[in-house]
Structure 1
Amino acid sequence: MNAPPTTGFLLHLSGPLQSWGERSRFNQRDTATAPTRSGLIGLIAAALGLRRDELGQRAGGPITELRTLRFTVRIDRPGTLLRDFHTVGGGMPRPLTVITAEGKRRAEDKATVTSDRYYLQDAAFIVAVTADDPALLDRCAQAVRAPMWPPYLGRRSCPPDAPFLLDVLGGDPITALIDFPLARRKPRDQGSVLVEFRSDTPFDAAAWPDDPAAPQTEQVYSEAQDEPVSFESHNRRYQTRPVYRRHLSLPARQCAGRGIDYLTEITKHLNPEQSNGSTPTTP
């Protein structure tokens, strides 16, 4: 019997630090509060082994196809904001100092370049990646499973935790995203927890359950300038795109904890036929 066509796959984006630049300029390097479209498309492009010079604004180029991917992000843990005062270039002889806008080298006593770089620490997200083309999804999922270049969470200094690729789906991706164990500790005296979802397409009312308990039952619309047009090093371009937000109350029993407890629970979820005493493995 043939397997059903791929409808999407789930990514687990968690690590000590993440940084999803949204409006970074010069010495101010910000981070969005959740993974951006440009960051997620760039992550998959790197897994596919695509170079920046292959991801320019050309009709029919790889970036055109990757922009057909859709992302729905579940915020398991929003994390906290970390500011890093970053220095580079100090203590070098003038021939090796940073080049100025005039094309000259900085003086040795003014060689240090400073910047403020912001990170999310201890954040965790589950991302449902979908598209209309099952072949594209298969190719992207395979690349994420065995990436050409190491994936990172917005910056090269931010490697992801394992497991990274959670599941390749043949059923409803939104149901799989909603039902997947939460990477947070179970509250003591609550029967449910409020979870935020973000998407680059409107939430389909037919696919999402009604939730009278949620304080925000209707989707909220905003915009972000993170739709990649070109990733070329000297011609990076982004467009504004819509961001849709909504909240959903999920059962507190869905909270699977952290660390080895979380790995154990997601292994049970992905492999229900395994015994409870089995050793967790990477899905």
Structure 2
Amino acid sequence: MSGVLLRLAGPLQAWGTAAAFAERDTRNHPTRSGLLGLILAAEGRSREDELGPEWTDLQFTVRIDRPGTRLVDFHTVGGGYPRHRTVPTSEGRRRSEATATLVSRRHYLSDAAFVVAAHGPDPLTERVALALRVPQWAPYLGRRSCPADQPMLLTPYPIADAEAELYRVPLARRQPDDHAELVEVDFIRSACGAQQGTEHGEELDDIPISFHPHRRAYHTRRVVVRTEALPAALCGGIGTDYLDTLAVYLGIWSP
């Protein structure tokens, strides 16, 4: 078993599980379907391609550095066009000009930051690392309008225990004002094999069966959110302060 580490940060992220046209939601952390979609897009796979059974062996552990702030973007689509150019109906007709404007609301996480360990059998994690080192399609954070900050791939090659490394990667948050020695950090894991303790769970429809745009399908899984205490010294600040701290951790810069 081995794994890779991903840093998921950017101005906006969106990790929906119950998205419909009019209301496109986001969870408060990356979903399994969103993470697999990011990796498969990096491989150059099409949405119409079948998902191989090997992907069930890839597991994700998410560390929430900053939960971000929820933001709702108000959209209108299709208004102002003549009838022959309005949005099609389900019967294949065109909407009248009076009913052409459709309203949608898209939910995002603003200024959130996560570190994700993707771990599994060695051949699979080597495949993941290769795809993310040289992506065929640019990675985005749930939606195409959400580009990822760099560096995103913290481990260009798989490492032996990626999940354990989540306890050593600098946290993308400021040092606590009260000079506390410990800070609370949430970790998200699939419920199977999760430890018991200070944790709560939720069910997500985020195990993809098919990404095909006309027949998307998902299974349900249960995840646990476990709050753990990490050393406050791991807090590397935000912005350029964090990037400097991260560069030192990665061994590519020395102050």
| Short-chain TM bin | over 0.9
The separation in 1 between residues aligned to 2:5 and 2:82, in whole angstroms, is: 49
Match of 2:127 among 130, 139, 151: 139
Residue identity matched to 2:250? L
Give the aligned partner of residue 190 of structure 2.
200
Match of 1:85 among 57, 70, 74: 74
Indicate if the aligned counterparts of 1:203 and 1:219 stay in contact, CA closer than 8 A: no
Give the aligned partner of residue 208 of structure 1.
none
Give the aligned partner of residue 89 of structure 2.
100
- Aligned-residue CA RMSD in angstroms? 1.7
Give the aligned partner of residue 163 of structure 1.
151
Match of 2:45 among 44, 50, 53: 50
Residue identity matched to 1:180? V
Unaligned segments of structure 1, at least 5 residues:
1-5, 56-61, 206-215, 278-283
Deviation at 1:201, TM superposition (A): 4.6
Give the aligned partner of residue 227 of structure 2.
247
Distance 1:106 1:256, change over 3 A: same
Indicate if the aligned counterparts of 1:74 and 1:125 stay in contact, CA closer than 8 A: yes
The separation in 1 between residues aligned to 2:193 and 2:13, in whole angstroms, is: 26
Residue identity matched to 1:138? E
Deviation at 1:120, TM superposition (A): 0.4
Match of 2:111 among 122, 133, 152: 122
Give the aligned partner of residue 3 of structure 1.
none
Unaligned segments of structure 2, at least 5 residues:
none
Q: 1:209-264 deviations in whole A, cap 9, x for unaligned?
A: xxxxxxx9434333111110111111100010120221111111110011211111
1:276 aligns with 2:254: yes
The separation in 2 between residues aligned to 1:184 and 1:111, in whole angstroms, is: 45
Residue identity matched to 2:223? V
1:152 aligns with 2:140: yes
Q: 1:74-118 deviations in whole A, cap 9, x for unaligned?
A: 000000110111111111111111011222101122211111110
The separation in 1 between residues aligned to 2:82 and 2:49, in whole angstroms, is: 36
The separation in 2 between residues aligned to 1:117 and 1:135, in whole angstroms, is: 37
The separation in 2 between residues aligned to 1:260 and 1:125, in whole angstroms, is: 17
Residue identity matched to 1:240? T
Distance 1:275 1:86, change over 3 A: closer
The separation in 2 between residues aligned to 1:248 and 1:263, in whole angstroms, is: 24
Residue identity matched to 2:54? E
Q: 1:36-69 deviations in whole A, cap 9, x for unaligned?
A: 01000011000011101113xxxxxx44222321
How many residues are matched? 253
Secondary structure of the equivalent of 1:166? Answer: coil
Deviation at 1:199, TM superposition (A): 0.9
Residue identity matched to 1:10? L
Indicate if the aligned counterparts of 1:203 and 1:244 stay in contact, CA closer than 8 A: no
Deviation at 1:32, TM superposition (A): 0.5
